[in-house]
Amino acid sequence: MVAMTPQYAPRYAVVTGAGSGIGAATARALAAEGFHVFCAARRLDRITEVAEEIGGTAVVCDVTDADSVTALAEAVGPVVHVVVNNAGGAFGNDTVEEADPEQWKQMYDVNVVGLQRVVTAFLPALRASGDGLVVTIGSVAGRVAYEKGGGYVAAKHGARAVMNTLRLELCGEPIRISEVAPGMVHTPEFSLVRMGGDQGAADAVYAGVDEPLLAEDIADVVAWIATRPSHVNIDELVVRPRAQAAAHKVHRTKS
Ligand code: 8X3
């Protein structure tokens, strides 16, 4: 069922990176709350599957391409209530000394500049809703540095800074700005991409951790934020598995 305001108008949500992981789970969670969800990502087959499952709409979009983001906003239409900036990722697992600057540029583009493209494209529709919400999936890497994460740590600190700036700039407008910062979430792709396709290295990230977070845990948090009363802005929310007290403090039962 499409979520209704007291005037029984449908409520629309957009999720970037909706083809898998946290994005796909968030699309499902928002649909379960009654939103019509536009599932945006680069891979048409993935978003088509998710959109068909939840009765949403699939729109191919690459947040590193301004024209692609503009086309997404046009496809969504003049009103949107919730925009979830989930597209992002970590590329590489190297010290600052050994890192590839091209990977750092890619991370900055997708994790930081992508936010600006999406926000710029959707602000008119968010304003038109009269009750807009932007949720960005940040990271604990946006709070604390760790070795071999320099480019990603910098990008996620940047994403947090952009959201904090936007909240200041939009104060007085009917738009809320939230950041959800997950710790260790076990999704099929995040660590695999970071490790350049090395499945063994990706699996080692979660080795011995009984219960890392699942994509659904983060989706649940986003849906909770999106269903708070309009005057309640959840500025930022750090979510970790119980086994991870800090980036460097992970309880492993086996190695
Ligand atoms: C992902 C969490 O710990 O790999 O954003 O930085 S972490």
Q: Does residue 5 carry a pLDDT above 70?
A: no
- Distance of CA 156 from the midpoint of ligand 1 (Å): 9
Burial (CB < 10 A; 0-12, 13-18, 19+), residue 239, is middle
Give residue 134's Cα distance to chain centre: 10
Pick from 107, 111, 139, 217 the residue to mutate for probing ligand 1's pocket: most ligand atoms within 8 Å of its CB.
139
Residue 88 pLDDT class (50, 70, 90 cuts): very high
Cα 139 to ligand 1 centre (Å): 6
CA 141, 41, 47, 196: dihedral to nearest 10 degrees? -60
Q: What is the pLDDT of residues 127-161, one digit of tens each?
A: 999 999 999 999 999 999 999 999 999 999 999 99
Q: State the Cα–Cα distance between residues 90 and 152, nearest whole angstrom.
A: 6
Tens digit of each residue's pLDDT (9 = 90 or more) over 49-80: 999 999 999 999 999 999 999 999 999 999 99
Burial class (CB in 10 A: 0-12, 13-18, 19+), 255: exposed
What is the pLDDT, as a whole number, of residue 8?
61
Tokens of 247: 């980036």
Q: Which atom of ligand 1 is nearest to the CA of 244?
A: 3
Q: Going from the N-terminus, what domains does the chain have, and what CATH number goes with each?
A: 10-182+214-242 (3.40.50.720)
> Which are the catalytic amino acids?
152
